[in-house]
Amino acid sequence: MKYATAQETGEKASVTVLPYNGDERILRVRLRNRNIIVELTNIGSAITAIYTPGKNDGLKNIVAGYADLKNYLHNPDYYGVVVGRYANRIAAGHFSINGKEYQVSVNNGSNHLHGGVQGFSHKFWTVTSVKENEQQCSVVFSYNSADGEEGYPGNMSVSVEYQLDDAGRLHIHYSATTDKSTPVNLTNHSYFNLTGFEQPSILDHLLEVNASAYTEKSENDTPTGQILSVTGTALDFRKPGKLSKGVDQFPADMGYDHNFVLDKSEGNDLEKAAVLSEASSGRTVTVYTTKPGMQLYTANFWNGSIIGQQGVAYRQHGGVALETQSFPDSVHHPHFPSTILHPGEQYRTTTIFEFGIIAE
C-alpha cells in the first residue's frame, strides 16, 4: 500500500478512524501530517505502520507489523503495542506494597513479562478522542484495567495519546490513575528497520544512546540491582556505533536485550535518549523521553516464520526496539526510581519519536 504524501496532495494534518473489514471491534486509525503517516489499531493501542520518506526513496513503512489487523490479538513479539501494566520483567511475579503481598502472572520462565498473559498489549482499547488542526492531529486510546487483572491491585484507568505534529514528531503521552497502589510501567514496543525492511537486518544501523550506565542482569534476566558503567562494554553507544558491534557478545540473549540508565538532568524532563540512523536510506529516528530507562532489544528470536506488512519474512535481528521505560523489576530495588502509583496521583510520561533524514 502506498499513500500520496500530504505534501504531494497539499492536505493538512488529518485523522481517520474506520472499522476494519466490517468488524466493528477492530479499528484502523490513520494520522497524517505533511509527509509522515502513522497507522494504529485499538488492539493493544498499537502502532501498525509508520511511513516516512528516505533520502532517495518515497514513503516506506519502517516498523514491524501485521498486514491483517486481526493478528494483533496474538502478536507474541509485541509489534508496535503499548505494553503494561508493567513493561519488562518482575522477578517471580511477586512483590509487596505497604506490607501486602501480590502475585501477578508468570509468563516468561520464572518471571512476569510485559503485563502478563493478556497484558494491555492484547486488549481492545477504546478511542476516546480525535483531534486535528493545521499543525497536528491526534488520537487517544483508553483502557480500564480491573482490580485483580493479571494479579495487579486496583482499578486502573489508562490513556495513551498519539499526536503527530508538523515537524515529523510522533508524541506519545501516557497517563494513568488507580484506586489502589500498584506498579505501573508503560512503553511502546515498536521495532524499527529504517530501510523499510528492504534489508533483512538492522545490524548496519547506527545507534547513539545517551547513557553512561546500564542495569546489570542476572541469569534469570532480571536486574541484580547493580548499576554498571558502559565504559569498555558493547553497551557504550555514547558515540554512534553499529548494532553489529556487540550483538555476538551476549550469546544467552542472542543479541541486545538490555536496559540503559539514561543520563538525565534532575527531574523528569523530556530529554534526548537515542538516535537511530541508517546510511543507505538516510532515515533517522530520534527518541526523547521523560522516563529514566530504555530497553534495547534487537529482535533476537525472530525466526522468519512471520511475513510482515512489507511482504517479507521477519528474521533474527530484522528490527530494533527502543523501549523507553522505568527500570525492570523496580519493585525489588528500592534504589531504582519508584514505579508505584498511588490513589490520587497521576502517572504521566511522554516519549517522542522524531523522524528525519541524515543531513548531507
Q: Which residues bind ligand GLA (CB under 6 A)?
A: 77-78, 88, 113, 257, 295, 297, 321, 323
Q: Is 314 annotated as contributing to ligand binding?
A: no
Give the separation between CA 348 and CA 157, rounded to whole angstroms: 12
Q: Is 32 annotated as contributing to ligand binding?
A: no
Compute how many other C-beta atoms are within 10 angstroms of the C-beta atom of residue 206: 18
Shortest CB 259 distance to ligand GLA, Å: 8
Q: Is 238 annotated as contributing to ligand binding?
A: no
Shortest CB 108 distance to ligand GLA, Å: 7
Q: Which of 122, 189, 205, 333 is catalytic?
A: 189
Q: Closer CB to ligand GLA, residue 154 or residue 255?
A: 255
C-alpha cell read off for 254: 542472542
Q: Is 189 annotated as contributing to ligand binding?
A: yes
Give the separation between CA 184 and CA 330, rounded to whole angstroms: 10
Sign, Cα dihedral of 88, 110, 333, 252: negative
Q: Closer CB to ligand GLA, residue 78 or residue 102?
A: 78
Rounded to whole angstroms, what are the CA distances from 100 to 51, 157, 338?
47, 22, 17
Q: Closer CB to ligand GLA, residue 278 or residue 323?
A: 323
Q: H helices of the chain, where?
A: 6-9
134 belongs to the catalytic site: no
Quote the radius of gyration of the chain (alpha carbons, Å): 19
- DSSP symbol at 5: P
Nearest residue to ligand GLA on Cβ basis: 297
Q: Which of 39, 132, 278, 323 is catalytic?
A: 323
Give the separation between CA 247 and CA 125, rounded to whole angstroms: 35
Q: Is 42 annotated as contributing to ligand binding?
A: no
Give the separation between CA 148 and CA 156, rounded to whole angstroms: 10
Shortest CB 113 distance to ligand GLA, Å: 6
Shortest CB 89 distance to ligand GLA, Å: 7
189 belongs to the catalytic site: yes
Shortest CB 224 distance to ligand GLA, Å: 16
Q: Closer CB to ligand GLA, residue 20 or residue 302?
A: 302
Rounded to whole angstroms, what are the CA distances from 12 to 33, 35, 143, 170?
6, 10, 29, 16
With vertex at residue 147, the alpha carbon angle to CA 141 and CA 152, rounded to the nearest 5 degrees, is 90
Q: Is 89 annotated as contributing to ligand binding?
A: yes
Q: Closer CB to ligand GLA, residue 54 or residue 115?
A: 115
- DSSP symbol at 338: P
CB 29 within 8 A of CB 17: yes
Annotated binding site: 88-89, 189-191, 257
Question: Catalytic residue numbers?
Answer: 189, 323
Annotated binding site for beta-D-galactose: 88-89, 189-191, 257
